[in-house]
């Protein structure tokens, strides 16, 4: 199992590994722990070595995450050529493929992720910024 440690999930008094396992829902919360202020989005991007589509997918998802999730995401990049069993575990047969692990439901997008609207829909973010702008709410 590959677990990406995200320092934003650190809870005082417990190890960073335990904090991340709790925030990923792998182990239960301890009594008295508070919920995170904003839900984290966990993503896994499967790439195929240094192919041009893989490089574009990395650049595109990084840009989308910074613009729409600003610090509330964890992105794990896995080279499917080097780690084919990880790709099989997530039923990934084509690279690049982005897998949104949580919050559920799990969704996948294949390709270089240049179709921003398609990626936003898969992440469950399509329409949030537009709706907020109409309501006069600013989102960062």
Query: 94-107: per-residue pLDDT in tens?
Result: 999 999 998 888 99
pLDDT at 85: 94
Comparison of pLDDT for 108 and 128, the residue scoring more: 108
Give the pLDDT confidence score for residue 131 in this predicted structure.
39
Q: What is the pLDDT of residues 14-56, one digit of tens each?
A: 555 556 566 666 656 555 555 544 688 999 999 999 999 999 9
pTM of the model: 0.65
Tell me the two tokens of residue 95.
């690279």
| Position 139 pLDDT exceeds 80 | no
Question: What percent of the chain is predicted at pLDDT more than 70?
Answer: 63
Backbone angles phi, psi at 101, to 5 degrees: -85, -45
pLDDT above 70 for 76: yes
Query: Tell me, what's the pLDDT at 110?
Result: 95
pLDDT value of position 51: 92
Instruction: Say if strands 97-102 and 107-110 run parallel, antiparallel, or are unpaired.
Output: antiparallel
User: How far is residue 64 from each of residues 15, 20, 33, 45, 75, measured CA to CA in Å?
Assistant: 30, 23, 31, 13, 12
Cβ neighbours of residue 33 closer than 8 Å, sequence gap 6 or more: 11, 22
CATH topology of domain 39-135: Glutaredoxin (3.40.30)
Q: Is the pLDDT of residue 87 over 90?
A: yes
Whether 90 contacts 69, CB under 8 Å = no
Query: Looking at per-residue confidence, does 71 or 89 come out higher?
Result: 89
Secondary structure of the chain: what % helix, strand, coil (to 5)?
35, 15, 45
**Residue 63 — very low, low, confident or very high, per pLDDT cuts 50/70/90?**
very high
Per DSSP (E only), the strands in 1-140 are 41-47, 73-79, 97-102, 107-110
């Amino acid at each position: 199992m590959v677990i990406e440690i995200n320092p934003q999930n650190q809870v005082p008094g417990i190890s960073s590994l335990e904090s991340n396992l709790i925030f990923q829902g792998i182990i239960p919360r301890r009594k008295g722990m508070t919920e995170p202020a904003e839900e984290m989005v966990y993503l896994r991007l499967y790439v195929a070595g240094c192919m041009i589509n893989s490089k574009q997918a990395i650049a595109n998802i990084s840009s989308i995450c910074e613009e729409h999730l600003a610090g509330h995401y964890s992105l794990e990049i896995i080279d499917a050529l080097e780690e084919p069993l990880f790709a099989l575990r997530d039923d990934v047969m084509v690279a690049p493929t982005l897998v949104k692990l949580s919050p559920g439901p799990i969704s996948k997008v294949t390709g270089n992720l240049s179709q921003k609207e398609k990626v936003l829909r898969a992440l469950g973010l399509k329409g949030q910024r537009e709706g907020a702008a109409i309501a006069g709410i600013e989102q960062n």
